[in-house]
């Protein structure tokens, strides 16, 4: 995810979010690229509703090779003004500028499904749907969320199937279920249990699996310099408009996207909201709590008490800087940027986020399981903290940038733990979305 101080200060959601479903859709992370468990948690199952299952969920594009892609980028000028771009590309090679892209002011959010592309606008709370048939964008519908009190499209979105999408509105603490085929709202799910007095809710990297949607929760008080030390996962059922389960744990803080292994164990890793939980605590002389890895057993609704690993224990001392994401939802492999403190000047004002713009972060692979292990991705380079990687067809596409003016995008193969350069582009990489028809 990309988090810049000007937006943090005014308390606006900061990043395009990675949205994945169990068949073929992926968005930002967009994006992060910020993925989910199943069968015991399905409505109507004999077991208690809970997280986990048979691990049969797949990531976007796992079952089908994309015919084309939407490549998204965001540029930020010296005054902090943002412009979002989206273009159709046929081949992931070469150098891409934005001359062929459609654009919108602000920090937009993106989804795809089949040959449709959904552009979530930043200056109005509107989804714009485009057909990409024939290799060009043709607008085919709009859906406004103005009735929910938004002024921009929030960043926590996922398409579940042809007729179901979910957008989590953090300020309103509600999940809106909408139909991407008819472009109509179908209902809402109350998420008021995620409201914390004095904090703003952030819930970006929502993912869908076996019809359920998994919502990570994190809380920030940017004016007061506080990140709530808590991990949270809410599972919702868009078909019945209900909350299936809620898990919370305070051993570390600010967990992001969920991923799981073939047995159905769901894993969530804290990142301290990009280490700011740690920075703020240190600035006040308080105890600094490292980030950690937790999990939920299949069929359970709570984090396991006996499963707890601090990230520096796995990396030889390095702590996580970004949420854990995966190339394939159920392969038991996660990826995250780790922070290298010796590359950060002591003269930087970390309380004011200056270290985020320093190339001091490198991608690591985490093999999940009963005894997790971590190792640096071979071929990865140091980078600033930018937008999340994107997951497409079993690979992770990770951006690296020295300053945000241009990005180099690497294809990471989870099986070999190698990063291979694929293409370069103008601005910040903000998403790679498959088009499969």
- Read off the pLDDT of residues 326-343 as tens digits, 9 standing for 90 and up: 999 999 999 999 999 999
What pLDDT sits at residue 403?
Answer: 84
- Reply yes or no on whether the pLDDT at 27 is more than 70: no
What pLDDT sits at residue 297?
Answer: 97
Q: DSSP character for 369?
A: S
Band of pLDDT at residue 309, cut at 50, 70 and 90? very high
What pLDDT sits at residue 279?
Answer: 97
Structure tokens at 433: 């979305």
Residues in the chain: 437
What pLDDT sits at residue 65?
Answer: 79
What pLDDT sits at residue 55?
Answer: 32
- DSSP character string of 61-83: TSSS--SEEEEEEEEE-TT--EE
Helix (H) or strand (E) holding 315: helix 311-315
**Cα–Cα distances in Å, from 206 out to 259, 364, 434?**
11, 22, 18
**Quick one: which of 394, 402, 397 has its CA closest to 430?**
397
**Domain locations along the chain:** 5-435
- DSSP character string of 89-115: ESSS-EEE-STT-EEEES--EEEEETT
Backbone angles phi, psi at 5, to 5 degrees: -55, -45
Task: Give the burial class of 149: count Cβ atoms within 10 A of its Cβ; 0-12 exposed, 13-18 middle, 19 or more buried.
Answer: exposed
Gap between the Cα atoms of 173 and 191, Å rounded: 5
Cis peptide before 31 (omega within 30 of 0): yes
- Reply yes or no on whether the pLDDT at 142 is more than 60: yes
Structure tokens at 325: 């994401």
Band of pLDDT at residue 209, cut at 50, 70 and 90? confident
CA angle 280, 285, 289 (to 5 degrees): 60
What pLDDT sits at residue 64?
Answer: 65
Return contacts of 230-234, CB within 8 angstroms, 24+ apart: 230/254, 231/255, 231/268, 231/270, 231/294, 231/303, 232/194, 233/51, 233/258, 233/266, 233/268, 233/296, 234/191, 234/193, 234/194
Contacts of 44 by beta carbon, 8 Å cutoff, 6+ apart: none
Share of the chain above pLDDT 90, in %: 79
DSSP helix/strand/coil, 360? coil
- Reply yes or no on whether the pLDDT at 174 is more than 70: yes
- Reply yes or no on whether the pLDDT at 49 is more than 70: no
What pLDDT sits at residue 402?
Answer: 86
- Reply yes or no on whether the pLDDT at 363 is more than 90: yes
Q: 10 Å Cβ neighbour count for 400?
A: 24
Band of pLDDT at residue 30, cut at 50, 70 and 90? very low
Q: Which CATH number does the domain 5-435 belong to among 3.30.43.10, 2.130.10.10, 2.60.40.10, 1.10.150.120? A: 2.130.10.10
């Amino acid at each position: 995810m990309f988090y810049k101080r000007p937006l943090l200060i005014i308390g606006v959601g900061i990043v395009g979010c990675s949205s994945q479903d169990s068949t073929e859709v992926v968005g930002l992370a967009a994006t992060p690229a910020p993925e989910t468990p199943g069968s015991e948690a399905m409505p109507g199952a004999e077991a208690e509703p809970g997280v986990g299952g048979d691990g049969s969920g797949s990531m976007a594009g796992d079952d089908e090779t994309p015919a084309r892609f939407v490549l998204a980028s965001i540029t930020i000028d010296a005054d902090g003004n943002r412009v979002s771009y989206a273009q159709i590309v046929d081949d992931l090679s070469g150098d891409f500028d934005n001359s062929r892209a459609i654009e919108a002011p602000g920090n937009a959010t993106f989804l795809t499904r089949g040959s449709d592309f959904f552009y979530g606008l930043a200056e109005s709370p509107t989804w714009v749907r485009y057909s990409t048939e024939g290799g060009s964008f043709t607008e085919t519908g709009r859906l406004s969320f103005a009735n929910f009190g938004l002024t921009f499209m929030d960043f926590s979105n996922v398409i579940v199937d042809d007729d179901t999408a979910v957008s989590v509105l953090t300020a309103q603490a509600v999940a809106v279920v909408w139909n991407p085929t008819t472009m109509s709202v179908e209902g809402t799910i109350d998420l008021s249990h995620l409201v914390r007095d004095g904090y703003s809710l952030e819930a970006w990297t929502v993912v869908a699996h076996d019809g359920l949607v998994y919502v990570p929760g994190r809380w920030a008080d940017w004016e007061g310099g506080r990140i709530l030390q808590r991990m949270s996962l809410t599972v919702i059922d868009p078909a019945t408009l209900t909350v299936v389960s809620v898990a919370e744990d305070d051993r570390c803080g600010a967990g992001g996207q969920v991923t799981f292994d073939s047995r159905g164990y769901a894993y969530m890793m804290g990142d301290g909201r990009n280490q700011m939980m740690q920075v703020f605590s240190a600035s006040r002389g308080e105890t600094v709590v490292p980030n950690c890895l937790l999990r939920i057993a299949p069929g359970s609704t709570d984090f396991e008490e006996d499963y707890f690993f601090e990230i520096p224990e796995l990396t030889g001392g390095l702590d996580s800087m970004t949420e854990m994401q995966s190339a394939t939802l159920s392969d038991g492999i996660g990826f995250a940027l780790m922070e290298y403190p010796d590359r950060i000047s002591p003269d930087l004002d970390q309380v004011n986020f200056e270290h985020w713009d320093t190339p001091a972060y490198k991608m690591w692979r985490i093999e999940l399981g009963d005894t997790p292990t971590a190792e640096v991705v071979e071929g990865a380079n140091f980078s600033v903290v930018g937008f999340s990687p994107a997951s497409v067809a079993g690979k992770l596409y990770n951006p690296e940038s020295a300053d945000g003016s241009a990005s180099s995008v690497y294809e990471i193969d989870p099986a070999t733990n190698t990063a291979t350069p694929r293409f370069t582009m103008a601005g910040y990489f903000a998403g790679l979305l498959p088009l499969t028809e």
